[in-house]
Chains A and B, each alone.
Chain A
């Protein structure tokens, strides 16, 4: 499979200056520290990390806005900072907190302007626009000024606008920020649909675990400018924490369970919620203890919430990071 995004030892160091005159000092701050990765075309990747981890700096280098201090990067075969204008014809970008739609005008007017900016052929532009209007359900508010749209409608129009020039890679920076549950789900489904049906490579940054679970198949976690985890989203919960949540309901009252590697999260007269560290207490051992404790009415074994996993990863600073 061909690569859509390739990074090799990509680094970025900023120089910070402070003070005046003789007291003026400069110091180097490493924002991105030798990142190497490869994203095949058509893959949906969540690129996550805590604030200040180096996500935005990396994306700015991948879109040609910033020059790296060291290393190489190729996006769709282009070196972004050397061939920015050629590259941006083939990539789209959506920023949850920055709109490219004209605030006082309807989305249709912005679409017309974008067709001009990208010098799109009239016939293919009209075809593409009409298809996006249909698939994103924009028709009811296409002629309504953007300022009068709900945030969910605006973000749908925003993503549609970024797909107008048929990009092959879409960079999404916090696309669901501020959206309600329904609007979030709608937007995630649309992005996923585009990734599956059109082979669009998706590069998503988000602090929302739901975005990561629903949209991405692979997650890359960076912290202190370095990649600290690169794995399938499905493997993340299973492997990284090695813990399970066990919820049990009994027919009769039971005593709390005391076992090494088992933490009681919640205890009621007829129910227990346990966190099991499977590296210390194998799950079958805990199950056997539960069955001995009383007559079981219902039992559920779950992975821990993704937020917890992510928080755990963020908390672990790589050795030597600063």
Chain B
């Protein structure tokens, strides 16, 4: 089991190297995409900094907490799509029957195919996430170690959520548009302080749009240096990923049986 996991990490590292090498063939385009994303993320942080200069506390949260939310979301989203870039294309790959080529390799299908592409601008998110946390929050070693561990859980959450939404293509045809909309909702809610929401919306944040595992539980874990909240974050990420993987393999049966064909009319 450990040997297999180590082998997979080696494969993931090889793909990341290769994908990065391919991106760096167009160095200027890559650097400008990364820089543009850092700038884009920074604009939002400036907005929140200005907001907190007028209203120093928002339902018990201060500017450092909101910057932590942004750092967590950006680092998690960035790592997820820098390494597993095909998550963003999954719905289209399924709808266009492009899983075939991945099925010709002796690897577990899903974790292998997700490695096949890199989203360049996601490196901007990842760099921004770790950079802004170090620069603004200035954590001690314990907080930084927990932050890194939590970003890995959030990375898993974004990958699992992408698989879950992308796999809808198995059932509804081309779900690319639907998956995009759902992902945008997830990103939007992930970057707003979860303390703003109550009632039904709060329930939504731990189910249909599981942004609460990005914008609330990890922040509470860091505020209180609480292993309990950290564990809940991890469990949430594992739960969403398990649901995504289950839906993918359930849908794959339809793909393998060739029952995905639809005609217009």
A binds B: yes
Contact B258 A14 (CB under 8 A): yes
A64-B103, A65-B100, A113-B18 known; A18 vs B265 contact (CB < 8 Å) = yes
Give which listed residue, B22, B107, B259, B264, contacts A117 with CB less than 8 A. Answer: B107
Contact A105 B25 (CB under 8 A): yes
Q: Tell me, in angstroms, the Cα distance from A95 to B103 when the chains sit together.
A: 14
A17-B262, A98-B101, A112-B14 known; A67 vs B257 contact (CB < 8 Å) = yes
Residue B7 lies at the interface, judged by CB distance under 8 Å to chain A: yes
Report chain A residues within 8 Å CB of B112.
Answer: 117
> Quick one: closest A residue to B260, CB to CB?
A14
Contact B106 A116 (CB under 8 A): no
Q: Tell me, in angstroms, the Cα distance from A16 to B32 when the chains sit together.
A: 46
> Interface code A108-131, partner B: CB below 8 Å = 1, 0 otherwise?
010011001111000000000000
> Interface code B236-265, partner A: CB below 8 Å = 1, 0 otherwise?
000000000000000000001111011111
Contact A66 B257 (CB under 8 A): yes
Nearest CB of chain A from residue B92's CB, rounded to whole Å = 15
In A51-110, the 8 Å CB interface with B consists of: 57, 60, 63-67, 81, 84-86, 88-89, 91, 93, 95, 98, 100, 102-105, 109
Give which listed residue, A66, A95, A119, A145, contacts B256 with CB less than 8 A. Answer: A66
Contact B258 A12 (CB under 8 A): yes
Total count of chain B residues near the partner, CB < 8 A: 28
Report chain A residues within 8 Å CB of B100.
Answer: 60, 65
Question: Which of B11, B18, B104, B262 has its CB near the most chain A CB atoms (within 10 A)?
Answer: B104
Report chain A residues within 8 Å CB of B108.
Answer: 85
A88-B104, A98-B101, A145-B25 known; A15 vs B261 contact (CB < 8 Å) = yes
Contact A117 B11 (CB under 8 A): yes
Report chain B residues within 8 Å CB of A105.
Answer: 18, 21-22, 25
Contact A118 B104 (CB under 8 A): no
Residue A140 lies at the interface, judged by CB distance under 8 Å to chain B: no
Q: Tell me, in angstroms, the Cα distance from A98 to B262 when the chains sit together.
A: 23
Contact B263 A93 (CB under 8 A): no
Residue A19 lies at the interface, judged by CB distance under 8 Å to chain B: yes
A60-B100, A116-B10, A117-B105 known; A15 vs B256 contact (CB < 8 Å) = no
Nearest CB of chain B from residue A19's CB, rounded to whole Å = 5
Report chain B residues within 8 Å CB of A98.
Answer: 101
Nearest CB of chain B from residue A18's CB, rounded to whole Å = 4
Report chain A residues within 8 Å CB of B101.
Answer: 95, 98, 100
> Quick one: closest A residue to B21, CB to CB?
A105
Contact A14 B261 (CB under 8 A): yes
Contacts beyond the supplied A14-B259, A104-B21: 20 A-B pairs with Cβ under 8 Å: A14-B258, A14-B261, A19-B265, A65-B256, A66-B256, A66-B257, A85-B106, A88-B104, A100-B101, A103-B22, A104-B25, A109-B18, A112-B14, A112-B18, A113-B14, A113-B15, A116-B14, A118-B106, A119-B7, A145-B25
A residues with a Cβ closer than 8 A to B are 12, 14-19, 57, 60, 63-67, 81, 84-86, 88-89, 91, 93, 95, 98, 100, 102-105, 109, 112-113, 116-119, 145
> Could you pull out 29 A-B pairs where Cβ atoms are within 8 angstroms?
A12-B258, A15-B261, A16-B263, A17-B262, A18-B262, A63-B104, A65-B104, A65-B256, A66-B258, A81-B256, A84-B103, A85-B106, A85-B107, A88-B103, A88-B105, A93-B104, A98-B101, A100-B101, A102-B18, A102-B22, A103-B22, A104-B22, A105-B21, A105-B22, A105-B25, A113-B18, A116-B10, A117-B11, A117-B105
